Every structure is written in structure tokens, then in C-alpha cells.
Structure 1
């Protein structure tokens, strides 16, 4: 009984938070509602026994992605009046996209009720390991059956990170503050380095 009540509570909060994400006028409030939706989605994952997925939702999405969104939104100088004007201007296009998505959902639900596709019989190779947590079972499947895809995803993320750094890197003029000169640092002589001094009280430092 308590599991059913918890499910409906978390599900209702997820739906309400998702609606508030798109209905909130302040982008900061939207990100905070998104964080609440992630927490309740993690609660749903715990109810289904997928505690590892719940931990990922809290650690990765809330602790990294949502906080990054919050920092970016708070650091941007957003003109809310201009944003509202853009919303009104693009409102017809948004209604059209919403109608297309609603039609796709109705079509998908109708196709599902008509009968699911027969994709074959499960081989049982990806069955959970006996006497092991779902984390151990997920790790065994991930690093055994999908190792190549997992490594490929890591390489793609690495390339995306390097590309983002290259695109946002700004070449500063020589001598600008914060600009490093690697060759000059390598050619530096020991007598040109900074020396730490510990003078006594009242003795001063010899320059």
C-alpha cells in the first residue's frame, strides 16, 4: 500500500515540476523546478529497485547538469522583457510544434494498443546476475556486451569537450595578463625564479 502511495506521490510531483519548468517566467525558477523533477524521478527509480539509476540522477543530473544550467542562467544578463517579446512572436510556431507532437503521441499510443512489434524472444544473456545487486548486473552487461559502444560514447564526449574548449578559447595579445608563454617558462633560469624568504621580525627582505 505504501509503495503505491509513494509511486503516485512521486509521479504527481514529477509531472507538476515538469509543467512548472516550462510555465515559470523566471529561468532560475525553471531550473529549480527541474531539480525537483530529477529528485522525484530518482524516487521513482528507487521504488522500482534501480537504486544505481537513482544515484546517477541525483549525482550527475542534479549535482552537475542542473547546477551548471543554474550557473549559466544566473551569469547571463537576460532581458526578460525581450524574452517575453520573443515568446509572443514565436507563439504560433510553438503551437504548431505542440500539435505535431500531440499527433505523434496519439498515433504512437494507437499503434501500441493495436499490437506491439514482435522483435523476437529474449535469449536470457542479459538476465540479472543471481545474488547480485542491479548495479553489479548493469556493470556486467555494460562492460561485457556493450563495451565497444561504451568506449565509443566516451571518445565522442572527449571530442565534444575538446571541441568546446577550442571554440571558446580566445587568443590574447602577447603580454596580456593571464596569457602563458610555455617556451619562455621552459627557458627560465633558476636565478630568475621567485625565492621564498622567511625573514625574522623587523629584519626585512633584501631586494
Structure 2
């Protein structure tokens, strides 16, 4: 066994442990930290597979931006996960059954003839970034745009979740502010002026 294989299996074990921890941990902040660890180890695996661009993009975009957004949303929502954890054991067998069916379907699809690796007609370019750009913006331009729209919808949904009504938060009602008149805000009080003798 070579040194690269030892590192690959080590990173794979850390990735599996982080993924299991992300799903099973009770605290949402700890789950997000486990997801960050899984992103880092996935980036390390991509670097081992000589996909440097994908590894760096995973660290810069997901760990640097998306996970920070996740942590802010988790802390702003103040999630109460106790009711969710109560139903986990109840629905676990159905979830495992659905996961097994999906895994079998994916294996059957990936073993079909269209997914078998064929010899490329043209040799790929030496630069991974150039090859990824050519494939992404020529063959897969429509799935790329659809993924961008899905991410936009997810961002709008996250903003909408943070703007839900809370009884303890103070909000401004703009319609009431616009309809306010001077008499509602200013009250004239008449008082006698003080003189030196009264003082």
C-alpha cells in the first residue's frame, strides 16, 4: 500500500465520521461544524485526485461563504430540535428503506451503458480549470443555470425564514407611520410663565 493510498483512506474515514456526526449530533451548530470538516476533507480528497480547482473552490465558496451563512441562519432562528428528534426513531425504518431503494436505483443507473467510460476522441487539455470551464459552459450550460436559480431560491427562502413573526421582536409598521398626523405626536401644553417674584 502506497503513501497516497494511506492518506486517501485516512481522509475517507474522517469524511465518513464527519458526515455521520453531522446527521446524528443534537446541536445544530455542531452539525454545521461537522459539515465544515466534511467539506475540508472532501477538498483534500479532490486535491489527491489532481482536481485542484474543485478543491479550492469547495474551500473558498462553501466553507468560506455558505457555511458562514448557515451558521448565521442557525443562530438567528434559535432552532428547537427536540420535536424533530422525537420523531426520528419513529420514522427511521421508512427513511432507511427509501435510502436503500434510492441507492439501488443509482447503482443500476450508473452501471447502464450510457454511463460507462469511453475513450475520449480528443485528449483533454492539461489545465483542469480550462477543461472544467469548457465542459461547464458548453455541454452543461442549462443544468448550470438551473442550479444557479435553485441557489437563488434557497437564499430567498433563508431570508424569508429569518423574517418570520416573533412575539418578542419589535417591528415598525410603515402604514401606521405614514398615516400619523401632527396632533397624534405633538401635544401643546399651556403654562403660565414664571416671573422673578414667583421664583
Q: TM-score, normalised by structure 1?
A: 0.65
Answering whether residue 140 of structure 2 is matched by residue 146 of structure 1, we say yes
Conserved 8 A contact 2:32-2:70: yes
RCO higher in 1 or 2 (8 Å CA, sep ≥ 6)?
A: 2
Distance apart, 1:105 and its partner CA: 2.8
Q: Of the two, which has the highest radius of gyration?
A: 2
Answering whether residue 25 of structure 2 is matched by residue 24 of structure 1, we say yes
The aligned counterpart of 2:153 is 160
Answering whether residue 93 of structure 2 is matched by residue 95 of structure 1, we say yes
Answering whether residue 129 of structure 2 is matched by residue 128 of structure 1, we say no
Answering whether residue 48 of structure 2 is matched by residue 47 of structure 1, we say yes
Aligned length in residues: 167
Conserved 8 A contact 2:19-2:38: yes
Q: TM-score, normalised by structure 2?
A: 0.67
> The residue matched to 2:174 in structure 1 has which SS?
coil
> The residue matched to 1:64 in structure 2 has which SS?
helix
- In 1: Cα distance, 2:14 partner to 2:8 partner: 10
Distance 1:32 1:166, change over 3 A: closer
Conserved 8 A contact 1:46-1:54: yes
- In 1: Cα distance, 2:144 partner to 2:157 partner: 21
- In 1: Cα distance, 2:11 partner to 2:112 partner: 31
Conserved 8 A contact 1:10-1:40: yes
> The residue matched to 2:9 in structure 1 has which SS?
helix
- In 1: Cα distance, 2:147 partner to 2:51 partner: 22
- In 2: Cα distance, 1:116 partner to 1:108 partner: 9
- Cα RMSD after superposing both structures: 3.5
Distance apart, 1:78 and its partner CA: 3.0
Distance 1:118 1:160, change over 3 A: same
